Structure 1
Amino acid sequence: MSYQLDAGVCLQLHTATPNDEELFGSPHTLQILSLKKVGSKQNEATPNSPADRYRVVLSDGTHFLQAMLATQLNDMVSEKHIQRFTVISLERMSCNYVQEKRLLILMTLRVLGQEDVKIGDPISLDPAPGSAAPTPAPAPGKPEKAEKAAQPTSSTSAQPAASRTAAKTNWHPIEGLSPYQNNWTIKARVTQKSDLKNYSTQRGEGKLFNVTLMDETGEIRATAFNQVAETLYPKLEEGKVYYVSKGKVNLAKKKFSNVMNDYEINLERNTEVEECLETTNLPMIKYSFVSLQELQELSKDSTCDVIGILKEYSDVSEITSKATSRQLKKRELTLVDRSEYSVRLTLWGNQAEGFTPDEQNPVIAFKGVRVGDFNGRSLGMIATSTMTQNPDIPESHSLRGWYDSSGNNASFQSHTGTGSFSGGAGGGFTRSEVKPLLEMKLEANRIPESEEKPVYFSTKATIMHIRGENIAYAACEVCNKKVVEEGGSWRCEKCDKTWPKPVYRYIMTFAVSDPTGQLWFQGFNEVGEVIFDKKADEVVEIKERDDGQYNHILYKSCFKTYNFLLRAKRDSYNDNSRIRYGVSRILPLDYKEECEALLTLMETPWGQKDFTADFDSMTLG
């Protein structure tokens, strides 16, 4: 199939100014003649890292010129949707001047097809090396003084009127910032703003706050300290757009930020911040949502964006931080989505106290929440997280329609520790590290008595016996601590609340075995729900009503094999040192996965070994 390119478009783009919004927002049929990666060398081993950039040469059949590909389109390169001689419909782009050079950025495109050869015989429009960038044409009716002010300037001296005018026309894309540039201005929206916090270090005390700035090319985190923080904090507001210049660009400290950018901005005393009333084409916030079901694929302490229906929420409660011994306020939200999973999300501090739902079951979008492994999977707000109720985005409208039509009657599954998670010490069951019980016991016995940290093991074993005397305990429905019966009601000392009845939670001890030996394991509520396939309330009710049926449940739950992740730790009981094996994860066997693991084992040197000689020696012996 032959394609008709839009002849003359490259010439229009070559002479366009950043204000030609109609030209940059209209579709154009062009051909890619070349595609070259220009990212930094240290990132070459990591495809599509935030620093990866691609330069493209575009042709309209008559002329060709160079442009840059926006980083959100990098996947189209790695997946080979666009390559040399690909014909595209360029639907949106932007134009900026960087260090007196024109920078065209492709923002949105659609692939029309793939050609084998170049269409036409185009010639170059790009200026020769060393030549100046074309001067943007002045707007009609503007005086000559304004025309001069609109031209880019390489001077770093203070020229208030001229520099401000230039900043309003020739701003720099966020994705193009780097520590090697000093004279830049960005036009960006504040999508997140932290509280003004006090900090204390060996050097002294101070204040800081941070904001997330976003334009159509990407986002970046900016931080201000001490006097600068006090000056800029009331000036920067969430949702508003600003021109920001004269900040220092540094490598990002990923430990403190979940923003997808290799760099961050340090706002300094000479930093200029000016509100912009022109907000065209600047997004309010960008999300990359994962479903609640997909949380089981994410590692502990990673961050993600989620959107869900608020099913229920708790009152504000207080806990004592183990690290700082301070009282912390928290509130638990239960979210559901159309994957028919539910998850608990924790709000902290002022967010917990100030939370009020807009309606009975609002749609809430969260950006940058942290993944935890409590009860299988949980979520928590952190300093850089944002929460928006009923956002005006397609995902929100779709979720609202689903819930109102059928979702409010759906049954939702929680993450109860049955998934196979990975990451970190104790992060998940690891098949390559599975140990038989005897080997595991020998290693655990070598744990020093002074060692306080647990040691994690992965193993496969069969349940042989379950102690049925104390299978569960009466718990508080808020904090899960043990409650005490007082005059027909149940009181939680920790929460200082009284309940008409308790919620029972499993606390189990059971024996397991494999061909090498036997051990006793301990497990809590999530483990019991997997083993019995029933809630603890139901099992306790059966136990109190019918001993025969209860014993039958215990018997049916035995002689089943599971994969376990264990937490082995030495403790003392009656002045005797012993090893306790607590179950952190329990996974029912996936027989397809087990067979694939055996087939993989057969391909190893052990699986290819000839055991005939060993068998003969054992027989003759």
Structure 2
Amino acid sequence: MPVQLTPNAIAAISAGDLNSKPLVQVIDIKLLGTQERYRFIVSDAVSCQHAMVATQLNDRIKTSQVKKGSIIQLTDYISNYFQNHKIIVVLNMETIILDSEIIGDPKPYVESGSTAQKALPNNNFEHSVRDSNNHMISQESVRNVQSLRPTSHSGTSLNRGPNLRPTFHSENSVHNVPNFRPTVQPPYQPPPQYKNHGSIVKNEAPARIIPINALNPYQGRWAIKARVTAKGDPRRYNNARGDGKVFSFDLLDSEGGEIRVTCFNAVLDRFYDTIEVGRVYLISKGSLKPAQKNFNHLKNDWEITLDASSTVELCPDEDGSIPEQKFSFRHISEIENVDSNSIVDIIGIVISVNPSVPIMRKNGMETQRRIVNLRDWSGKSVELTLWGDVCNREGQRLEDMLASGLFPVLAVKAGKINDFSGKSVGTIHSTQLFINPDIPDSHSLREWFDQGGKDTASVSISKDIVPGGSKNEIRKTVSQIKDEGLGRSDKPDWVTVKATISFIKTDSFCYTACPLMIGDRQCNKKVSRSGNRGWQCDRCDQEFEECDYRYLLQAQIQDNTGLTWATAFQESGEEILGCSAKDLYLLKEQDDARFGDIVRSSIFNQFLFKLKIKEETYGDEQKVKITVVKADKVNYSSESKYMLDMILKFSR
């Protein structure tokens, strides 16, 4: 089908016309190294120019929606300099004709005036210039002209005096280059004098506000206007460059674009108190870097890092064009097929809330945990684990609402999927909870629940919830660990076993550990003696007088089906023996009899052991390692209820 490209489109774009939507042809496509960025060469049939393609359009090229020869319409684009070369940055486009022969004989576009002296990109294109009548001059003609020696009438240098007009003396005529006049460098003009004699700031014009989805590293000055939808707490880190602190916040603009902004150290101190969730800000002069997908769940290939020159200005939200939040909800039934550690948005009716309980983290810090169960119209329910301060804020509010007979709607923004005890969702530092939000999904879910949804059955995707159980438990016996080959798959198995401790090794029940802090956590690496009194940590490369002691407890557990060995570390060791490893070590040194009494008092006690079972390699031998994650003394009232429920379950 014949088509006419937009005349002079390349020249218009280079001149700053960004409002038209020209038709151009793609005459070359190239993938730039491993950067996952594509470069076009676009033509208007007469001129052509380089164009960089925004990464959100990569799929169109990979799926052959745009190819060499395609006629496209540029619907959103900018023109900018990159490494002294003028390029077009394509932010959005539409394919008009997929396959077409190359139209015309396009040449690389050369700007008129002073900008024509800028170097053109050398990408196997013929360099060309124009004469005073704007006619194209071939490269061969240019070489012929360059071979001529310009001299003035007086024989002096061409650049001596502004009124000298050069002539050419050559055996060859230059009639094939009509009206050609070489550019003469103008005489030096002193810079203008300014009255205040102060420092001069270049380009004081305000940066142009652009959509978040249009941000790319090839832009110069930019600004975005967006709402803060999430704000993280400051975090400490330690790496090869030393200690530091960092915090991040997420932005959403009126076109639905999202991006994460990160601040380090002094920049954190400058902006942390300024940033408030829900407020709108004008942000500029940040640097754009590839998003770290391990920590950034937003659908953007870039993230912004603010520096000392960055500006953050609070803006009035006059027209309300920027939404409060952007959700991409998944039905609970879909979560069963979502990979572990994925970040999702879910919404559901709260059907139960467990009390908040203290949990000791691996770094020795205590936090809070609360379990909430959600269900939706997909016929499935899921367990949501709340961590930290959110347990006593939103968690307590949900518990109070449920106690008063209300079943609130809860929307979860950026929950993390895990597959411990089946699929469940947990909160992370960027997770946000919205109780009864004023959004269409919330109203639809409430209407479904009130009109009969609450009476329909639902199935938990977080394994079977057994009434009376502490958490969704996969109960096993000791013999089942071996008979079912637990721990021999790629991922560890997590089970709960009710068993009795029959023996504890006391010769090496703990180890000497480094007490130094790395960021907000203790090092805990094993240390060795340094001299007669000190200790040395190879990891921290420091010496200190006092070390710490941590459990490395080897215990034999058994039930009516068999026995096995398990390893208990610090927290679970304290739950079994009832005291810290350091206290027990000092007691062994001072009162061996009292030490023996404490160990014997723990033997033949029944515990509900939460076990992690994983096959590991020791030398050339594969062994299944059983680790005690938690040891709870049996609550016989709850255990009796559990056994009665199991009897009823199997008698149906």
- In structure 2, the residue matched to 1:55 is 39
1:296 alignment partner AA? E
Please give the alpha-carbon distance, in whole angstroms, between the structure 2 residues aligned to 1:401 and 1:125: 61
**2:272 matches 1:233:** yes
> Given that residues 196 and 233 in structure 1 are in contact (C-alpha distance below 8 angstroms), is that contact kept between their aligned partners in structure 2?
no
With structure 2 as the length reference, what TM-score do the two structures score? 0.49
Please give the alpha-carbon distance, in whole angstroms, between the structure 1 residues aligned to 2:493 and 2:199: 57
Q: Offset at 1:383? A: 1.3
> Given that residues 375 and 415 in structure 1 are in contact (C-alpha distance below 8 angstroms), is that contact kept between their aligned partners in structure 2?
no
Residue 421 (structure 2) aligned to one of 359, 363, 375: 375
Residue pairs, 1:15-94, within 5 angstroms: 15-16=15-16, 20=19, 23=20, 28=21, 30=23, 32-34=25-27, 36-39=29-32, 41=33, 43=34, 51-58=35-42, 66-88=50-72, 92-94=75-77
C-alpha spacing 1:417/1:130, structure 2 compared with 1 (3 Å):
farther
2:250 alignment partner AA? T
Q: Offset at 1:223? A: 3.0
- In structure 2, the residue matched to 1:197 is 234
Please give the alpha-carbon distance, in whole angstroms, between the structure 2 residues aligned to 1:165 and 1:398: 48
Please give the alpha-carbon distance, in whole angstroms, between the structure 2 residues aligned to 1:226 and 1:307: 34
C-alpha spacing 1:415/1:267, structure 2 compared with 1 (3 Å):
same
C-alpha spacing 1:454/1:254, structure 2 compared with 1 (3 Å):
same
Unaligned runs of 5+ in 2: 121-197, 465-486, 495-563, 570-611, 617-630
1:540 alignment partner AA? I
1:235-290 Cα distance to aligned partner (Å, 9 max, x none): 22334444445556666665544456676554444433334569999776665554
Residue 364 (structure 1) aligned to one of 380, 400, 411: 411
- In structure 2, the residue matched to 1:224 is 263
> Given that residues 80 and 86 in structure 2 are in contact (C-alpha distance below 8 angstroms), is that contact kept between their aligned partners in structure 1?
yes
C-alpha spacing 1:199/1:222, structure 2 compared with 1 (3 Å):
same
1:38-63 Cα distance to aligned partner (Å, 9 max, x none): 44x3x3xxxxxxx5222334556776
1:189 alignment partner AA? A
Please give the alpha-carbon distance, in whole angstroms, between the structure 1 residues aligned to 2:3 and 2:249: 46
Residue pairs, 1:269-280, within 5 angstroms: 269-276=308-315
C-alpha spacing 1:85/1:315, structure 2 compared with 1 (3 Å):
same
- In structure 1, the residue matched to 2:491 is 426
Give RMSD over aligned pairs: 5.3
- In structure 2, the residue matched to 1:385 is 431
1:36 alignment partner AA? I
C-alpha spacing 1:315/1:448, structure 2 compared with 1 (3 Å):
closer
**2:401 matches 1:353:** no
Residue 99 (structure 2) aligned to one of 108, 115, 126: 115
| Highest RCO, 1 vs 2 (Cα 8 Å, sep ≥ 6) | 1
2:118 alignment partner AA? S
> Given that residues 57 and 67 in structure 1 are in contact (C-alpha distance below 8 angstroms), is that contact kept between their aligned partners in structure 2?
yes
Please give the alpha-carbon distance, in whole angstroms, between the structure 1 residues aligned to 2:449 and 2:58: 34
Q: Offset at 1:93? A: 1.6
Aligned-pair identity in percent equals 25
Q: Offset at 1:387? A: 4.1
Residue pairs, 1:141-290, within 5 angstroms: 165-168=205-208, 175-177=215-217, 184-189=221-226, 191-197=228-234, 199=236, 208-213=246-251, 220-247=259-286, 255-259=294-298, 265-276=304-315, 290=330
C-alpha spacing 1:371/1:484, structure 2 compared with 1 (3 Å):
same
> Given that residues 96 and 102 in structure 1 are in contact (C-alpha distance below 8 angstroms), is that contact kept between their aligned partners in structure 2?
yes
Please give the alpha-carbon distance, in whole angstroms, between the structure 1 residues aligned to 2:448 and 2:199: 56
SS at match of 2:345: strand
With structure 1 as the length reference, what TM-score do the two structures score? 0.51
> Given that residues 35 and 54 in structure 1 are in contact (C-alpha distance below 8 angstroms), is that contact kept between their aligned partners in structure 2?
no
Residue 335 (structure 2) aligned to one of 295, 300, 305: 295
- In structure 1, the residue matched to 2:647 is 540
Give the count of matched residue pairs: 413
Unaligned runs of 5+ in 1: 44-50, 134-156, 430-446, 458-478, 493-501, 506-535, 544-549, 554-621
Q: Which moved more, 1:255-264 or 1:391-400?
A: 391-400
1:426 alignment partner AA? K
1:529-585 Cα distance to aligned partner (Å, 9 max, x none): xxxxxxx83x52266xxxxxx4xx7xxxxxxxxxxxxxxxxxxxxxxxxxxxxxxxx
C-alpha spacing 1:317/1:108, structure 2 compared with 1 (3 Å):
same
Q: Offset at 1:210? A: 1.7
Please give the alpha-carbon distance, in whole angstroms, between the structure 2 residues aligned to 1:235 and 1:403: 41
- In structure 1, the residue matched to 2:356 is 317
Q: Offset at 1:377? A: 0.5
- In structure 2, the residue matched to 1:95 is 78
C-alpha spacing 1:88/1:174, structure 2 compared with 1 (3 Å):
closer
C-alpha spacing 1:266/1:277, structure 2 compared with 1 (3 Å):
same
SS at match of 1:323: coil
2:231 alignment partner AA? S
Please give the alpha-carbon distance, in whole angstroms, between the structure 2 residues aligned to 1:393 and 1:66: 44
Please give the alpha-carbon distance, in whole angstroms, between the structure 1 residues aligned to 2:419 and 2:199: 53
> Given that residues 383 and 462 in structure 2 are in contact (C-alpha distance below 8 angstroms), is that contact kept between their aligned partners in structure 1?
no
SS at match of 2:78: strand
Greater Rg over alpha carbons, structure: 2
